[in-house]
């Protein structure tokens, strides 16, 4: 869906670009203009010219499809695993911090101390600490995803209106059903907000980790394209990262829609 824009809300008159056909024309023009600008950048005289769109497409076609697919799957797997571990640890941790004052006092300060350090700054320490590359990258994706998940879960549980808890207790809920039937659904929207942010940061981290490690994955593909002077491949790597990131984010959105059925209106 295209955002309507402020003008769309203010003006009632219909211009050609507000019609369905017009908006398709607009979208195509937008892509064409982008490609033209890119092509023009390629024409700027430089020692090493920026690869043009057609060179990039040719580079993509000449790639070995199997090894390219392997890189995509490997990155996706690294993101997915780190993200999953972050969710499995982060959601219960956030729930405990959000619920219990004791846990909040004990755990929250530690979380707060770590949070301001940008995850990328952990790369040297992670290299030092983890003997293998996989462990290092896994740590980075986990770490990047962890904080948004914890923070949004805390926010979710703190924002549950007391009224729902009171209503449930009035209706005779035990603590078990109070937790599973009231508190969990009430904080789900906020948890999914966290997961959505987290998957984006996990992609950021996997690219950074792979560029440092250069042992497979789309980040390594992009970095190696630069180092081995196969410049048009840089764009192929970037496009792959973009598409995979978009796909993951849509996947989270899709699951959220399945789980949070009551909030679709």
* Contacts to other proteins by CB under 8 A: 161, 163-164, 166-174, 177, 181-182, 185-186, 188, 260-263, 265
Nearer to other proteins by C-beta: 73 or 186? 186
Nearer to other proteins by C-beta: 155 or 260? 260
| Closest distance of CB 259 from other proteins, Å | 10
**How many C-beta atoms lie closer than 10 Å to residue 178's C-beta?**
16
Nearer to other proteins by C-beta: 170 or 228? 170
| Closest distance of CB 166 from other proteins, Å | 6
Distance of CA 38 to the CA centre of its chain: 26
Closest to 139 in 3D by CA, of 153, 112, 120: 120
CA–CA separation, 166 vs 97, rounded Å? 21
Q: Which two tokens stand for residue 131?
A: 């003997």
| Closest distance of CB 183 from other proteins, Å | 11
Nearer to other proteins by C-beta: 126 or 187? 187
| Closest distance of CB 195 from other proteins, Å | 18
Nearer to other proteins by C-beta: 137 or 168? 168
| Closest distance of CB 254 from other proteins, Å | 19
Distance of CA 59 to the CA centre of its chain: 27
CA–CA separation, 224 vs 213, rounded Å? 11
Phi, psi of 228 (to 5 degrees): -95, 15
Nearer to other proteins by C-beta: 102 or 171? 171
**How many C-beta atoms lie closer than 10 Å to residue 68's C-beta?**
17
Which region holds residue 5: left if phi is over 0, alpha if psi is between -120 and 50, else beta?
Answer: left
- Cα angle 248-250-256, degrees, rounded to a multiple of 5: 105
The CA radius of gyration of the chain, in Å to the nearest whole number, is: 23
Nearer to other proteins by C-beta: 9 or 261? 261
CA–CA separation, 130 vs 96, rounded Å? 29
| Closest distance of CB 188 from other proteins, Å | 8
10 Å CB burial of residue 231 (0-12, 13-18, 19+) is: middle
| Closest distance of CB 194 from other proteins, Å | 18
* CB 111, CB 147: distance < 8 Å: yes
């Amino acid at each position: 869906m295209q955002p309507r824009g402020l003008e769309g809300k203010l003006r009632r008159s219909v211009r050609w670009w507000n019609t369905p056909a017009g908006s398709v024309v607009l979208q195509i023009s937008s892509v064409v203009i982008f490609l033209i600008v890119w092509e023009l950048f390629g024409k700027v005289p430089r020692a090493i010219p920026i690869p043009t769109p057609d060179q990039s497409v040719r580079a993509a076609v000449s790639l070995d499809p199997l090894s390219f697919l392997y890189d995509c799957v490997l990155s996706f797997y690294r993101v997915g695993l780190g993200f999953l571990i972050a969710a499995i640890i982060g959601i219960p941790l956030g729930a405990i911090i959000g619920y219990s004052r004791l846990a909040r006092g004990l755990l929250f300060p530690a979380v707060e101390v770590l949070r301001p350090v940008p995850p990328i700054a952990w790369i040297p320490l992670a290299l030092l600490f983890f003997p293998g590359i996989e462990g290092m990258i896994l740590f980075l994706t986990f770490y990047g995803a962890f904080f948004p998940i914890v923070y949004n879960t805390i926010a979710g549980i703190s924002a549950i209106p007391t009224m729902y808890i009171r209503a449930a207790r009035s209706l005779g809920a035990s603590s078990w059903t109070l937790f599973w039937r009231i508190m969990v659904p009430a904080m789900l929207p906020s948890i999914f907000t966290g997961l959505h942010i987290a998957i984006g940061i996990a992609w950021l981290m996997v690219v950074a980790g792979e560029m440092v490690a250069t042992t497979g994955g789309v980040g390594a593909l992009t970095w190696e394209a630069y180092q081995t002077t196969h410049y048009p491949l840089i764009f192929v790597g970037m496009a792959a990262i973009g598409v995979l990131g978009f796909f993951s984010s849509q996947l989270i959105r899709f699951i959220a829609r399945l789980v949070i059925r009551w909030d679709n209106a």
